[in-house]
Amino acid sequence: MDAFRQVYEMVAASSELSPFLVFSILILAGFAGGWLAKLVKLPHVTGNIIGGIVIGPACLGLIGTHDQLMALQPLSIFAVSLVAVSIGGHLSYRRIHNSLRRIVFISLFEVAGAFAVVLVAARLFHLEWPMTLLLAAIAASTAPATTIALVREMRAKGSFVKTLISAVALNNILCILLFVMMKTFVSAYFESGETISKIDDALLLSGYHLFGALVLGLSAGWMSKTLVGLFRFHDFSTILMAVMLCDGLAAYLGLSPLLVNLFFGVFLGNSSEVAEKQLTTLVPLEPVFYVCFFTLAGLSLHIDAMLSVGLLAVVYAAARMLGKSIGAALGGIAGKCSPRIWKNMAIALYPQSGIAIGLVVLLGTDSFIPSSIQQAVSAIVLAGVTIAEVVGPFFTKAALARSEEVGRDRQRLVEFLAEEFVMVDLKAADKWDAIRQLVAFLMRTHRVEHISEEELYQTVVEREKIASTAMGHGIAIPHGRIEKGPAIQGVMGICRDGVEFDAPDGDPVKLIMLIATPEAQKHLHLKVLASLSSMVRDPAVRSRLIAAISPEDAMEVIESKEARGYNYFLDE
């Protein structure tokens, strides 16, 4: 009994929880919150955050002391870094080459919109110019982790999701650069009373953050690719080491870990098949780290800060959301994207967490900016983050649902029917010229590393010489076989002027779908041909495809109710 009493007294006397116990409580609270959120139809992210609030100082107080939060900070940074690598991988030229216009316009306009509306709102409440500039710059940020988590939770896939993730990635780059410039101006004002003379310094510092992160991220990507491809290092271990190295060097050099890892992901997504596969190696770990990140975000939310700034926090959050809505809508219209995309994008960019908190921390390192302004900005931003992280996921989830892309992250019979594989302005002298152009387009947009462009062209030509692949009604499906490849790959060309293709009905061909089938996938070849031919033989689908003025328009047709049944999901 004495031994048990001594053990009890030792445990009772100890005020320190083991880091392993803190970590376990964090995970359990996050999963419990996510489970309860699922029962009442709330986003998992919101459930994780609420779980953090419940175990934090604002409620049960199980964990959440300053020392514990500081000890868990590396975990939060690593989780955000994983998100940054993943989101950077979505900025692949092959995926966004024909949607860059709308992505750039939406990102620029929503950043400018949030900055401008918060700037005006802050001035209407008579806040000082230095504080106004800092608040407006931080308001431009959007949470990448929340966005990615909701997309994966809802298994969403399509043109809207691609635009959303790419716009968030670009948003993070623009926001960090904008904040660095505004902080430099404000710091210069308090140091010397002038800001105009410090424009050069602001540009230089922004350039350092951008190009420093670019060089470090690309170098890490090259190293990771080389170790795995040339020296056969283990994928998981290599990318884990690379992310930690990026985080450590970014902190040492005064760069943003988010920006560095984002460029790391950009390299992997645009380099080679070996490098691109590394983006998936940490997927098994992501659910746990996501839960930890959002639960930790809930644990760190400053309810007292929100109460202390009161109305200002509500005004900041509302102005930020209004600015993002107006900016995203105007950017979508200027980028000539479909109403389905810009209307839903207007409510999809509200979440704000990791990057905003990181910028607040960075603000605290400036010795020239008065502590009173730092504390005021910190209180308003943290309160705004609390509102955005509780309310924002509802709007993002609603946007994903309204986009009609939920549940589509599954394998389809024809996987290459995507926006990035559509050419709408094909002009060809004859069918051989059309085939050559489409082969070149396929090589640029697909990961075809096992065969040269000329070899692929010759195999398609050989098949075409046996018998024309034109099917009548203005349709042709030229195809060839390749020895290796991850899947059946293909592209669609829309030739409004028509091209002679030796069709059985003598009509010129206006829709050409080029297919390259690996030997391992030949069992699906006939099913794919049948699906494609059935879809484009439908008069309504065919006429709308021929009239499409952009790849996005073509995808709106392919994903319409009339055409969706032809390209069915393999698990149905």
State whether 230 and 163 are in the same domain.
Answer: yes
User: Helix 19-39 vs helix 66-89: angle between axes, to the nearest 10 degrees?
Assistant: 60
Helix (H) or strand (E) holding 532: helix 522-537
Which pLDDT does position 327 carry in this prediction? 96
All residues at 6 or more sequence positions from 548 whose CB lies less than 8 Å from its CB, including other chains: 422, 424, 494, 554, 556, 557
Locate all alpha helices (DSSP H) within 271-353, ordered by sequence: 273-277, 286-300, 303-309, 311-334, 339-345
What predicted TM-score, i.e. pTM, was given to this entire model?
0.84
Which pLDDT does position 530 carry in this prediction? 86
Q: What is the pLDDT of residues 193-219, one digit of tens each?
A: 665 556 777 778 888 888 999 999 999
Per the prediction, the chain carries an average pLDDT of 84
CA distances from 71 to 27, 50, 74, 442 (A): 15, 21, 7, 49
CA distances from 243 to 246, 249, 262, 471 (A): 5, 10, 10, 51
At residue 91, the 3 state secondary structure works out as coil
Give the span between the Cα atoms of 210 and 255, in whole angstroms.
Answer: 9
Listed residue (302, 267, 445) closest to 375, CA to CA: 302
Establish if 1 belongs to a structural domain.
Answer: no
Which pLDDT does position 192 carry in this prediction? 67
Establish if 411 belongs to a structural domain.
Answer: no
Q: Which domain holds residue 133?
A: 44-402
State whether 457 and 377 are in the same domain.
Answer: no
Of 377, 402, 427, the residue at which a domain comes to its end is 402
Establish if 410 belongs to a structural domain.
Answer: no
Using CB atoms within 10 A of its CB, is residue 184 exposed (0-12), middle (13-18) or buried (19+)? buried
State whether 268 and 395 are in the same domain.
Answer: yes
Q: What is the pLDDT of residues 52-69, one digit of tens each?
A: 888 888 788 888 776 777
Establish if 134 belongs to a structural domain.
Answer: yes
Cβ–Cβ contacts within 10 Å for residue 65, how many? 15
Q: Which DSSP category does 478 fall into? A: -
* Residues in a beta bridge with 476: 470, 512
Which pLDDT does position 7 carry in this prediction? 41
State the average pLDDT over residues 288-315: 75
In this predicted structure, the answer to whether residue 227 has a pLDDT above a threshold of 80 is yes
State whether 333 and 375 are in the same domain.
Answer: yes
Of 343, 370, 402, the residue at which a domain comes to its end is 402
State whether 235 and 260 are in the same domain.
Answer: yes
State whether 424 and 341 are in the same domain.
Answer: no
Q: Report the CATH number that the domain containing residue 462 is assigned in CATH.
A: 3.40.930.10
Give the span between the Cα atoms of 140 and 156, in whole angstroms.
Answer: 25
Q: Report the CATH number that the domain containing residue 52 is assigned in CATH.
A: 1.20.1530.20
Listed residue (406, 354, 291, 386) closest to 34, CA to CA: 291
Give the span between the Cα atoms of 149 and 357, in whole angstroms.
Answer: 18
Tokens of 62: 């199980």
Q: What is the pLDDT of residues 352-409, one digit of tens each?
A: 876 787 777 677 767 788 888 888 888 888 788 878 888 899 999 999 999 989 988 8
Tokens of 415: 């996987």
Q: What is the pLDDT of residues 418-458, one digit of tens each?
A: 888 999 989 998 999 999 999 999 998 887 777 888 989 99
Cα dihedral 367, 369, 370, 376 in deg (nearest 10): -120
Which pLDDT does position 10 carry in this prediction? 42
Q: What is the pLDDT of residues 116-163, one digit of tens each?
A: 999 999 999 888 888 999 999 999 999 888 888 899 889 999 899 999
Number of domains in the chain: 2
Higher pLDDT among residues 563 and 454, named by residue: 454
